[in-house]
Amino acid sequence: MKISARSSLFATAALLCAGTAASACDDPIKVGVLHSLSGTMAISETTLKDTMELLIAQQNDAGGLLGCEIEAVVVDPASDWPLFAEKARELLTVSEVDVIFGSWTSVSRKSALPVLEELNGLMFYPVQYEGEESSRNVFYTGAAPNQQAIPATDYFLEELGVEKFALLGTDYVYPRTTNNILEQYLIDAGIPAENIFVNYTPFGHSDWSTIVADVVELGADGSQVGVISTINGDANIGFYKELAAAGISADDIPVVAFSVGEEELSGLDTSDLVGHLAAWNYFQSADTEANADWVASWKAAMGEERVTNDPMEAHYIGFNMWVNAVTEAGTTDVDAVRTAMYGQEFPNLTGGTAVMLPNHHLAKPVLIGEITADGQFDIISQTSEVPGDAWTDFLPASAVLVSDWKDLGCGMFNTETETCVQLTSNY
């Protein structure tokens, strides 16, 4: 639904007079929800669908948007990566949504990306990712590597004295690119290449005995070993169970995970995982008034047993920024909303303020938490807001690139040649 400036003024006036969204519009503003509700990623993504439905319901209760009711249009790409492209096209052309909130894995995002760029759709992507991408059609509200992977690695090096690293990931683009960055970062930090063990497993992998044994063997010489985990989806259940079965505690071999949060832990016996770590930009245990209100509203709507997590906060921030940008622009038109997004601010649930940067990434704090016996996290480290970097400083080809869609109109600006390289699907 594209609303003209003239009609938006009428809608706003109607909203002020009537105090209700529904009466001002014949048609709702449509928000596409592109998250897997079945398959290996349903363990993580279903809760994000629920989050979007709650956020939309709250906004409708507050009067809607531009005098209109907001409608969630939910599809299930079923953890089938090519299906993300098909479902994105369906949302934009059949359902005619005004914006999409969705994807978890980078392969699913990259599947949808050419469709978004072809049709000038707009998607908010809420999950930590590997960077090395900047599209004018995506706002990346999760963490870039410098907002998660690098700070977590620094914690291992500086606080825990880790000498040997096991980089364990699911076999797709996010873990592979992240680990390429981390390998170079560790080598630059003085860790010998032979002290870095890298292993990839398929989605849904369940037999972890050999891999865990290999990790244990790394420390046979008495070196402190640490695991950096980019394992995604339900494969985490088998991995942590194998750690417990092998009698490995966080004191023996600490694990820091980038894709394990409260939702993933809710299905596990966490008594043997106490002390293992995760790095995110949010934890449910954050002690702020805003977070207490959000957690209370979530549990009231979804049930006391339901937990919150980092990608939920990313949707919370992204959706509210989008609402404010639409209100500022007076339209849901993608180009106008994109322009209005730059510089948008919204309070983090952990304190401080998230800011949308010209590179389509947020400035957000970095938190490290220890797993507790109740499946929550004890926050042991928190930074101030760190600006998300689309292009890492630790890969030579990327170190010379910057993204600036506001002033340069370019996602890959080479600072050495002062030229813009434009690639329209995968970067």
| pLDDT of 26 | 85
- Quick: pLDDT tens for 246-288: 999 999 999 999 988 998 888 778 888 899 999 999 999 999 9
| pLDDT of 259 | 87
Output the DSSP codes for 268-298: S-GGGTTT-EEEES--TT---HHHHHHHHHH
Contact 3, 28 (CB under 8 A): no
d(CA 119, CA 66): 24
Is the pLDDT assigned to residue 206 strictly greater than 70?
yes
Residue at 232: amino acid letter: N
Q: Mean pLDDT of all residues in the chain?
A: 92
| pLDDT of 266 | 86
- Quick: pLDDT tens for 21-60: 344 688 999 999 999 999 989 988 999 999 999 999 999 9
Domain edges within the chain: 5-143+287-363, 146-285+369-387
Protein fold of 5-143+287-363: Rossmann fold (3.40.50)
Q: Residues of the chain with pLDDT > 70: what percent? A: 93
Is the pLDDT assigned to residue 183 strictly greater than 90?
yes
| pLDDT of 376 | 95
| pLDDT of 14 | 37
| pLDDT of 274 | 92
Which run of H or E residues covers position 369? strand 367-371
> Looking at residues 198-217, what average pLDDT do you find?
96
Is the pLDDT assigned to residue 360 strictly greater than 60?
yes
d(CA 225, CA 223): 6
| pLDDT of 270 | 87
d(CA 417, CA 297): 51
Length in residues, the chain: 427
| pLDDT of 264 | 82
Residue indicated by tokens 């832990």: 265
pLDDT tier, 423 (very low <50, low <70, confident <90, very high otherwise): low
Is the pLDDT assigned to residue 211 strictly greater than 60?
yes
Q: What is the DSSP letter of 361?
A: B
> Looking at residues 63-71, what average pLDDT do you find?
97
d(CA 19, CA 422): 45
Q: Do domains 5-143+287-363 and 146-285+369-387 have the same CATH topology?
A: yes
Q: Is the dihedral of CA 196, 197, 199, 205 positive or negative?
A: negative
> Looking at residues 401-407, what average pLDDT do you find?
97
Contact 142, 366 (CB under 8 A): no
Contact 333, 305 (CB under 8 A): no
> Looking at residues 403-416, what average pLDDT do you find?
96
Q: What is the DSSP letter of 65?
A: B
Distance of CA 4 to the CA centre of its chain: 32
pLDDT tier, 421 (very low <50, low <70, confident <90, very high otherwise): confident
| pLDDT of 289 | 97
Q: What is the DSSP letter of 92?
A: I
| pLDDT of 24 | 60
d(CA 108, CA 84): 6
> Looking at residues 398-417, what average pLDDT do you find?
96
Strand 345-347 to strand 277-280: parallel, antiparallel, or no bridges (unpaired)? unpaired
Mean pLDDT is lowest, of 94-108, 296-310, 413-427, for: 413-427
Between 153 and 427, residue with greater pLDDT: 153
> Looking at residues 401-406, what average pLDDT do you find?
97
Reduce the DSSP state of residue 359 to 3 states and report it: coil
Contact 135, 100 (CB under 8 A): no
Mean pLDDT is lowest, of 32-46, 167-181, 259-273, 337-351, for: 259-273
> Looking at residues 215-231, what average pLDDT do you find?
96
Q: Which of 409, 405, 390, 383 is closest to 143 using CA atoms?
A: 390
Mean pLDDT is lowest, of 10-19, 80-89, 354-363, 406-415, for: 10-19
CATH homologous superfamily, domain 146-285+369-387: Response regulator (3.40.50.2300)
pLDDT tier, 19 (very low <50, low <70, confident <90, very high otherwise): very low
Task: Give me the residues paired with residue 125 across strands.
Answer: 140
Contact 76, 34 (CB under 8 A): no
Tokens of residue 148, six digits: 């998660």
- Quick: pLDDT tens for 224-243: 999 999 998 888 889 988 99
> Looking at residues 161-180, what average pLDDT do you find?
96
| pLDDT of 1 | 47
The CA-atom distances, in angstroms, between 349 and each of 62, 136, 377 are 20, 27, 15
